[in-house]
Chain A
């Protein structure tokens, strides 16, 4: 009986752990139109790391209608986007080593995807973050908000102890 209870507890714990991990993994898609499928991402404060996969579900090649996913503070977006347009496709439309970029995938074309994993240590609850595609001009419409939630102490403790 005790073994059965221990087994149940283990299953519940693994299940809970899996759910927490899922909360920190995101997928965003874009296609042959200049548009993300999601306009808001909510990151729980319990996430120490975030894995973001951008998937291009269209058919166009990267040089024609390539997209990426770039995260920055909202106030920095226009400056990064303009510098990115000048950087060109070979640099994934991103200024090199720009500290204002929190995370970014490479530019992908139809059928391709790329994943970026980044720490939430830099993120602050209440800060205004925008994710966008830095291909020239796409950022004017292909963008969304990333909201980093404050973590409850209990949840954070549970996460850090895992």
Chain B
């Protein structure tokens, strides 16, 4: 019913994991730099980067004078989830229709300096839901510093497998709130391709440059992986995207700071063309363009706050899907807006709220009625919120076991006001959007 990854039609993304499977603060970086996780992350342990953390990533994960640090880390996320109303059938083998405990992932990382100017963030994850191991985020980058017009610049190239995995801010999909979540609860059926639509099934280089610590520019191209390579990284041939040519990604952002606050605004885009049937020259094209903004405050009194905004508009020309009778029309669009805000006290007690709204063209071919995951009216429209409270006991400057010991414990509640086009009987089988509201109690550990 719910799958980790879609088949070759991107618009079939019915993946609750769009909202999860994010990453992380890595103890191997802390060991390499000698700095606690809290130096790079606004919360002692977790993905939100501080200005220093952004510099560390920008410069290729290579900083640190600590000798003999091993660039390996291990992480586990496990949790209990309870959906408001039982599912009609178990969401995955070995699980019940509700009230499940699951190991979301057990992930190994190669993360740290490879050479003086080259570093890596590479993950391989075992999913306790799918009971399967595959690669995850892959970002190997080479970075140098220099001058341009008297201004300092950092420039580099990243070989990676997911648009926005290279990004420095926490507004863009790979690193955006809520960072973790249930892998067993239903999730909305539509999202722009920028939201992990081609993740881990492509590989390509991105070149980037930060000018005077203000202007960030990035451009990249991705090639779809062959069946053979997909098999090598733990995926399967049915997950082949069948890209026609290269998928292109671009990004520009401006960042600045004032006193204890830092800000960024930016734009980004992704263009993907698929050729589902090699015998037919028809293609499906997806063009995403987005706007994002971030705010971060780190007070002297132990209070920190962050806010992120992302809006993405996707234009779809689904000639192949239309010809195959899988789409009602060739031209479609999809919009997604997401906002989140977090406040933390001494990087230990953390409260967060997030909100999203997805709207788009009605299309019964793309969004047919189906129990739980379908839409009775062929609409992709969904809207919901996330409330999260966390306790982060380790990973700070003088906390126990630093930098080896890292843990985060949380309560997450995800609520839906609209789900796949409706608030009541949205799927045509009598289910309401609020029936998918989910409580997730989690523990997130790393060494």
Chain A residues at the B interface, C-beta cutoff of 8 Å: 32-34, 39, 60-61, 63-65, 75-83, 85-86, 89, 136-138, 140-141
Contact = CB atoms under 8 A, between A and B. Distances in A.
A32 B397 contact: yes
B217 interface: no
A141 B52 contact: yes
A7 B52 CA distance: 56
A97 to B, nearest CB: 16
B50 interface: yes
A63 B52 contact: no
Contacts, number: 68
Contacts of A34: 35, 39, 52
A79 B39 CA distance: 23
Contacts of B259: 39
Interface in B106-154: 145-147, 150-154
Contact of B147 (A64, A79, A140): A79
B51 A140 contact: yes
B66 A63 contact: yes
Contacts of B65: 63-64, 89
Q: Is the interface of A mostly helix, strand, loop or mixed?
A: helix
Nearest to A85: B145
Contacts of A61: 34
A140 B152 contact: no
Nearest to B51: A140
A-B complex: 3 closest residue pairs judged by Cβ atoms? A78-B152, A64-B34, A82-B145
Contact of A79 (B38, B54, B63, B151): B151
B55 interface: yes
A141 B296 CA distance: 12
Contact of B146 (A80, A81, A82): A82
Contacts of A77: 152
A33 B152 CA distance: 24
A80 B65 CA distance: 20
B89 interface: no
Given A64-B65, A78-B152, A80-B152, A140 B35 contact: no
Contact of A137 (B56, B66, B147, B398): B56
Contacts of B176: none
B147 A82 contact: yes
A136 B38 CA distance: 16
Nearest to A40: B259
B145 A86 contact: yes
B51 A79 contact: no
Contacts of A33: 38-39, 397
A140 B63 contact: no
Contacts of B56: 137
A136 B59 contact: yes
A137 B151 contact: no
B152 A79 contact: yes
B151 A78 contact: yes
B231 interface: no
B213 interface: yes
Interface string B35-70: 100110000000000111011100100010110000
B212 interface: yes
Contacts of A83: 145, 147, 152
Given A78-B151, A79-B150, A85 B59 contact: yes
A83 B151 CA distance: 11
A27 B39 CA distance: 24
Given A34-B35, A79-B151, A137 B145 contact: no
A147 to B, nearest CB: 15
Contacts of B66: 63-64
Contacts of B52: 34, 137-138, 140-141
A76 B150 CA distance: 7
A144 to B, nearest CB: 10
